[in-house]
Every structure is written in structure tokens, then in C-alpha cells.
Chains A and B, each alone.
Chain A
């Protein structure tokens, strides 16, 4: 539906190749003038390409770091310090990789919230949404294993706490943890396998990204109005209009990235990870990286056993459920209106959800003292209530605003005023 003119090569060599391997046609049809996108995409639509850029930054910097890194408990920490001090531009490439992970998550979180606000998860885009969640889960696994590699105190204790989550599984939990560790604690076998998988998973992510974009190109992009495009008056060729807009976005994004890279390279990290791992001493306050904090808060929010299920298992189940829940978004929100622009109540609750996730992020980073465990519990209850109670009720009872006839009519009306 969003496809423009097909590719007509003028160059004889290009034509020769394209008839045998239609690679130029593929590029033309997916990123070039052959792909038509809604004409009203705003800047929130930049974050998909920005996430793609982050994946490329992580792949390139990561492959280089692997050339200098030693995955052994006795040498890992020192090899990272050597990268920082002795390897030419090693400090730059490592800071790029560490901050790149944070910026990848920033881009992806904004991309996800964009999808939630404008209803991009709804029919016919359910597969795009679910593939995106698969990418998100793979990113979390990759980020976690990457953080273990420098073998600092946070690396070691983060690995210990997260692998121990699986011990909550009844009966076979302990055996699974031993299997993950390859020993009786997080040790050299654990570090080796994490390094291997940390190298592998980004390529798996790249594969799922291709599926994500493939699925996107069937219905085409959603747009801020959430109404389908009805003809060429509603669309623009992807190239040059959105290639230029994406490149502009990349420029702005790189300004922020370079700002962190050169002026605050450790602002998003923890000083404790510059202390070599010590299996005998847990740092007084261990927290995961900022991008895991809301989920960590959900994990911590269960402190008492109920319904014969131990608190620990509740916490673990709730943490996994909080993400798996999102796979059901297209069915939990059955309203036919996609964009929050025409759903005043939905819009209100969307911002409450954003506030709730900010609260969970703060609670996740605090020690379990004072008011924070209570706030984490309230935040967790609200998180689940939003998806399981509020959304289904809203999609049934909310009175939505009238939708414009088409994208072009909405735009001409706006400019006529």
C-alpha cells in the first residue's frame, strides 16, 4: 500500500546485476524513492533509525574492543584498564561502547513510548510491535552480559543477582543456576560464556531488526494521526524526504552522544565497577544500570509471601510478566482509534504511566529503606493495573474525538486556519 514507482535502472551494469540479484530494487523499495511514507511523520519517528545507528555503533566498537579484551577472571579487569590507558584511542572506543549502550536504550525507550502513544502496536502492525519487543529482550540480555565483562564489583554482583533470579523456579531452579554458572558461583566459566554470547547476540538482534523492518514495509509506517494513508496526496517518497530528516536527527543525536562521551563518560556508570571483582565482599549498595531500574524495582517490590508463593518467586514472575505483558498490547487495547491525539482519556493515562515508570526507575535505584519499598510496590501495582484494567476499560468506554477524513485533509484544514 505504501509502495511507489518500481526501480528502473538506467546504468547497464546496475541493470545487469539487478536482474540477477535485485539488490538495487530492494534498496530502492525499502529506503529509496520507491518506499512511500505518510507525509505527516513528526520527530518522534526518528528514533527507529537512531536505534539502528546505535546498533551499528555498538557492533563496530564492540568488535574492536574484543580484539584487546581477555575473557579470564585474572586478566579481564586489567585488559580493560589496558584498553583505557595503553591502546591507541582505546579510551574513546570503550567509552563509545559503554555510553552507546545507554543511548541505544534511550532511543529504544523513546521508540517504544512513541508506539504506545500513537497506537502503532494496533492492527495491522502487531508483528512489528512483537518483533520490536523481541529485540528489546535481546538487548537486555546482551547489555547485561556485556556489563559483566569488565569484571568489576558491579559486574560480578550484578551477574550474581541476575543469575540467581532463576533459582526462584521451583524444583529445578538451583540446577539451572549451576548450569548458567558452570560452577558453584559466578566464576571463569561464567565469564567465558557471557563473552561468547555477548558477541553473538547483537548479530541475532540485527537479524530480528531485518524482520522488524520487513514487517514494517507491508502496511508502512503509522503516523501521528493514526489514520491510514489513502493515496499519494497523503504520502512522500522516503528518499529524499525522510532520509534527510533521519540524517538531521542523527546529527542532533550525535551532539548529545559526543557530549556524554567527551564531558561525562562515566556519568551513567557506577564507580564501584572500577574496583576489581571480589566474590567475598558485596558492595553496600548494588544497582543495575539505569535502563533496568524500573524492572528491578518491580522485582524488589515483593517482600512478603502470599498465596503460598514465596516473595522471591513473585518478584521474578512479576518482573518477567511486566515485559511479556506488552506482547498482548494489541489485544488489551482494542480501541479502533490508534492515535492518542483523538483519545483524551487514553492520553491522560499514558502520561500517568510515564510518571509511574519514572517513579519505578527512581525506586529501583534506591536502597530498600524508608518510603522506597512502599513506593516501588505502589508503582508496580499501578503498572499492572494500567495494562490489565485501565486499558481494556478505556478501549470499551472512552468517547473518542472525531477522526479526520485523511491525512491530507487534516493538513489542509490546519493550514487554512
Chain B
């Protein structure tokens, strides 16, 4: 099969020995020379695109960056109403020991009116522990509200100082330019007071 194809390409045909001026007059559309030109340019283009890929992909996270997978956090020191901030993959993770009022408030509110409707139950494993990535989903600032004395915004959770996004005590966006709720990272409870993030 390959030999026949090569034979067809390599052996000069009538079309090839004609000059370009009379090939259409001869009633022949595309010539084998046209085919060779297109095939050669096509192979060249695929090759060039293939050679470019390593130069694009080198920008993606390297193996050692990807290896920074998970951390374990001891929750026993966090009092009710307190928020601990830990660093995971270069980003802050907020771990809030929610008060009963905060839990009931988060559960009671009707999610359908929100910018990014989501029930509180879908955002927690245990209602008293809220674990969220502390990076505003607008443009990546760290919202305030974790430390005592911070501005907490109109919904009692967190407030992003950069462009004014208000988050509630479930980390859901309630007002401002952010499009989605604060992200909940993958985490599991190892014991009652110990979690593994990532």
C-alpha cells in the first residue's frame, strides 16, 4: 500500500509536466504538485505546532510544585467563634469553628436569592467546622474577617477589601463583584479534631 502511494507521488504525471498556464485548460483541477505542496506545508505546520507545545507547557506547574499535595491540621486549639488560617498550596485556608448562631443563620437563609446559590449543608462536612480557601473568587485577594477586629461585611462572614465582596458565615458570596462562593477544598476528618486538606 505504502509503495503504491509513494509511486503515485514520486512518478511524474501528465499534470506535473504541464506548465501552470495550461493545466486548467487541460481540464485537470488540483495537480499532484499542488497535493505535494499542501502535504509538505501541512506536515511542516503540524511539526511547528508540536515543537511549540513544550514551550507553552513549561509554564504549567512543575512536578515539584504539584508534589505539594496535602497538609494535616489539628483543630483542637480553635475555640468556638475563632478562625484559624493555614497555608496550603501557597494559599490561605480559613478554618472556622462556627458558633451555633452562625450555623443556624447559614442554614436558615434561602439559597435561591444568592449570586451563587448553594446550601450550607453542601459546603461543610460537620456544621461546626467551615473549611474554605481564603481567596476571593473575584481577583484573588484574601478577604478579611478571620481575625478579631476585622471588617466582616454586611453578612457577618468575610469582606474583601480590594473590590468590596461580602461573604456570609458559610463563605458564600452575597454582595459585590465576586462571581462564585469561596471554594471548599477537598478535606477529610482523620479524627474528630484532625483534618487532612488536599
Contacts and interface: CB of A to CB of B under 8 A. Distances in A.
Task: Say if A and B assemble together.
Answer: yes
Given A161-B162, A286-B141, A368-B163, A305 B115 contact: yes
Interface stretch (B13-21, B87-95, B187-195): B87-95
Interface string B136-151: 0011111110000000
Contacts of B87: 279-280
B62 interface: yes
Given A160-B141, A179-B59, A179-B60, A286 B91 contact: no
Nearest to A187: B90
A280 B59 CA distance: 24
B156 interface: no
Nearest to B58: A182
B62 A281 contact: no
Which range contains the number of A residues in contact with the other chain? 35 or more
Interface stretch (A105-113, A209-217, A308-316, A390-398): A308-316
A302 B141 contact: no
Interface in B29-83: 56, 59-62, 65
B90 A157 contact: no
A378 B44 CA distance: 52
A165 B161 contact: no
Interface string A148-179: 00000000010011111101000000000011
Contact of B142 (A179, A182, A281, A300): A281
Given A279-B91, A282-B161, A311-B177, A184 B139 contact: no
A185 B142 contact: no
Given A182-B60, A189-B62, A369-B164, 12 more contacts: A157-B141, A160-B140, A161-B162, A165-B139, A179-B59, A183-B89, A185-B89, A185-B135, A279-B87, A282-B143, A310-B179, A312-B179
Given A185-B90, A193-B59, A280-B92, A312 B138 contact: yes
A180 interface: yes
Nearest to A160: B140
A161 B139 CA distance: 5
B186 to A, nearest CB: 13
A282 B142 contact: yes
Contacts of B62: 182, 189
20 contacts: A160-B140, A160-B141, A161-B139, A164-B139, A165-B139, A178-B60, A180-B59, A186-B90, A189-B65, A193-B59, A282-B160, A284-B144, A286-B141, A286-B162, A303-B164, A303-B176, A303-B177, A305-B179, A312-B179, A368-B164
Nearest to B180: A310
A184 B60 contact: no
A285 interface: yes
